Structure 1
Amino acid sequence: MKKIMIFLLAISMLIPNKAEAQKKGTGVAIAAAGLLAIGAGIAAVKQMQERAELTATQWVLSNRPKLTSFSLKTLDFEGKKLKDMSSVSVILFNIQEFEPQDKPILNGKKQVLFGFTSHGWISEQGINFEKVRWYLIDETEWMNMMTSYVKVASNEKDMNTIKAILRTGKIVNKGVKTRSKLSIPFFKLSGDMYVVTDYSDAMKLIYNEKSLGIFLKETRDLVQIGRSEIIKIHNFFFDD
C-alpha cells in the first residue's frame, strides 16, 4: 500500500489498451499482458527505490564528508500518510556508522535522512531528484522534534517529563504509551483541526488526525507522516 502511487503510475505506463488487446484475439492475451505489466511495475518500483537510495548516498557523500564508514538503508519509500492527497511526500533512510573490519557490526551513531519531495517530483519520466529537499537528523534532534510534537499534541508541557517518557515509551495513535499504560494522551481533534508549533527556521510541526505534520518553510509544502513511520524512526533510535 505504501508504494501504491508509484506502482499505479508504472502499471498505467505498461498495461496495454483493452480494446487493442481484444483486436489481437482473446481475454487470455489481456490477462497475460496484465501479469507481465504487474511484474514490470514491481520491477519499476524496485528500480526507483534503488535510484533513490543511490541519490541519498550521494547526498551524504557530498554533504557529510566526516561520514567515512556507514550503512544506508531505505526505511520507508513512501512515508507520507496514505490519506494525504498532496503530491508531496517523504522518503526515509536509516544511516548508521560502523568501524571498518571484516564482517563489521552496525554499532555506531544512528541518523535518519528525510527526503522531502515537492510538487512534480514524480512523472511518467520517473523521479526528479532536483525536487527533493534533504534533511538529516540524529537521535538528539529526533528527540527534540518528538518532544515539541508531543507538547503541542497534549496537555503535558514539561519538556523533561516528555523526554523521559519518550525514551522508554512508544508513540501510538492515542498518545505516548509506556508498557500497557497511556502515559501522555493526545488531544482528540477532528480532521479539519490543526495545532501548530514553530519548531525551527526550516519547519513547523503540526498535530492533526493522529499524524505528524511537517510544514517546510522553504517550499511551503505540508507533509503528513503516518504513525507507523514515526514508530519506525523512534524504534530505530531507541530500541536496542
Structure 2
Amino acid sequence: MLLNRTRTLGAISGLVGGALLLAGCGQPAAAPQNTQGNADASAPAAGIAPGEFQPGKPAGEGKPSAGTTAGGQATGSGQRTTGAKCTSSDFKVDLNVQPDRPGVLLMALTNKSQKTCDLNGWATVTPLDMSNSTIDAPTQQVEIPGSPTDFSLAPGETGFAGVLIEFGDTGDSNTFVATGFQVGVPGASDAVNATIFGTDGTNTGNGGLYAEFPIKSMKVGSLQPVAQGVTVFD
C-alpha cells in the first residue's frame, strides 16, 4: 500500500484487526494522555492511580469523572450539577484503540472549557480520508451500554462512549479507508478532529502515529459519565 506522506515512517507499531498503525520514525512512544483533568498532565503513567482511565486501557478500567457519580450527580451535594449546551470545540476528543479487541475504540471527551457542559445522547463520529475529507460510511447509533444519560461535565472532566468498526476488504468498493475521525457532541453544529491513541501510547496528535482503518460500517454507543461497559458490543 502506498502511503502518500511527507515524512518517513518507522517500524510498524501494530496491526490491530486490519487497522494499520505505524509509529513515526524517531518518535518516542508518548506517555498516555491524562483525560481526567485532575492530575498533572506531565506526570508519568506510573503515577496514575489504579482504576483511573488511561488511553489504551480497556474501558472497564475507567472510573467516574472527578466530582461526579455514575448518575451524573455532584458528590456530596445530592444535586445534579447543571451546565450549558456546549459546542464540540469545548471538548478534546481521544479515540483509544483497545488491546486485543479488533475494531473497538474507547472515545473520551474531556471538557477543556471554563464552563460546565451538559451532555445527553450520541456523539457524531465521521471518518476522514488522507485529504481530511469526510467519508460517508454507514453508521448506527446503538444503546450501549444503555439508553442516553443526561449528565454534566465540569471543566477538566471526561465523558465516554464506545465505537465499533466493522473492517472490510480494501479491494471492496463498499470499504472506506479512514486515517482519522471527526467528532461532534449532541446538538452542536461543529465538529473537532479526534486524536487516535495506539495501545503503546503513541498518538496521531503529535505525529507519532499514523493510522488506517478499512471501514465497512460503524456503531457508536451512547455517551456516559463513566467508562464501564461502553465498549461492550454484542
TM-score by length of 2: 0.26
Q: Normalized per residue, which structure has more helix? A: 1
Which protein, 1 or 2, shows the higher relative CO under an 8 Å CA cutoff with sep ≥ 6?
2
Indicate the structure with greater strand content.
Answer: 2
Larger radius of gyration: 1
